[in-house]
């Protein structure tokens, strides 16, 4: 399998996290964000939506969308429940992540990391929505080890990626103890370096 992605992107890191956790071998092909590398004719032939990550299976079949890739790679593994309703509750988080978390938490971080915004000059509406998403996560994790219960699933991997990087965008996790405990638990489960080393 080939993975086209950028290791600075949470969406791409999701693919690395699940492939590493499952021991699926892959060749990483670096496609740096914000350089026009996703709008070349060669890349558009892979993914007309001009987004990373993209995976190319050994038989040449192509799959885009980070959460669709998570779901595909995690099928029949401990990271995606076999029970249909339990899997649907995982899906609920995957769609919430792409609609109500990533567009705010990740975009606010991107403005700081890639576009030179200061913490003070961040877009107030974006920050408010990001804070609301982090509050919702804190609430959900206060009563549960992982997002859908006692075991880590791809719902956690999807939310972990940008939540873990959110301090780079000026978001304060110190007042969110459930998120911090959950990040540490995910790091341990997935064999990732500790949060302090990332930020």
Interface ranges with a copy of itself (CB under 8 A): 48-49, 57, 61, 63-69, 71-72, 75, 84-85, 88-89, 91-92, 94-96, 98-100, 102-103, 136, 139-140
Residue number, 127 or 137, with CB nearest to a copy of itself: 137
Q: How many CA atoms lie within 13 A of 195 on its CB side?
A: 20
Smallest gap from residue 54 Cβ to a copy of itself (A): 10
How far are the Cα atoms of 1, 108, 178 from residue 29, in angstroms, in the given order? 10, 26, 35
If you write DSSP's letter for every residue of 124-135 in order, what string do you get?
HHHHHHHHHHHH
Long-range contacts, 88-92 (Cβ 8 Å, 24+): 89/148, 89/155, 90/148, 90/153, 90/154, 90/155, 92/155
Report which of 155, 157, 168 is spatially closest to residue 195, judged by C-alpha positions: 168
Residue number, 48 or 116, with CB nearest to a copy of itself: 48
Smallest gap from residue 170 Cβ to a copy of itself (A): 23
Residue number, 49 or 194, with CB nearest to a copy of itself: 49
Residue number, 48 or 191, with CB nearest to a copy of itself: 48
Smallest gap from residue 107 Cβ to a copy of itself (A): 11
Smallest gap from residue 89 Cβ to a copy of itself (A): 7
Dihedral Cα 101, 104, 108, 110, nearest 10 deg = 70
Residue with tokens 């050994």: 58
Alpha-carbon gap, residue 55 to 63, rounded angstroms: 5
Smallest gap from residue 16 Cβ to a copy of itself (A): 18
Residue number, 95 or 114, with CB nearest to a copy of itself: 95
Smallest gap from residue 195 Cβ to a copy of itself (A): 25
Residue number, 7 or 68, with CB nearest to a copy of itself: 68
Q: Name the DSSP letter for residue 192.
A: P
């Amino acid at each position: 399998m080939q993975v086209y992605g950028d290791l600075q992107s949470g969406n791409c890191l999701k693919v690395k996290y699940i492939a590493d956790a499952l021991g699926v071998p892959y060749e990483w092909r670096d496609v740096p964000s914000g350089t026009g590398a996703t709008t070349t004719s060669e890349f558009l032939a892979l993914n007309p939506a001009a987004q990373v990550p993209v995976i190319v299976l050994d038989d040449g079949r192509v799959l885009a969308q980070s959460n669709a890739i998570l779901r595909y790679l995690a099928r029949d593994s401990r990271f995606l429940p076999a029970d249909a309703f339990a899997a649907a509750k995982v899906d609920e988080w995957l769609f919430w992540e792409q609609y109500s978390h990533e567009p705010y938490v990740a975009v606010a971080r991107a403005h700081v990391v890639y576009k030179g915004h200061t913490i003070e000059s961040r877009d107030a509406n974006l920050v408010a929505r990001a804070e609301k998403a982090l509050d919702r996560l804190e609430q959900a994790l206060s009563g549960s080890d992982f997002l859908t219960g006692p075991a880590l699933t791809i719902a956690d991997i999807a939310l972990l990626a940008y939540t873990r990087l959110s301090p780079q965008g000026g978001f304060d996790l110190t007042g969110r103890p459930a998120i911090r405990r959950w990040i540490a638990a995910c790091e341990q489960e997935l064999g990732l370096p500790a949060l302090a080393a990332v930020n």
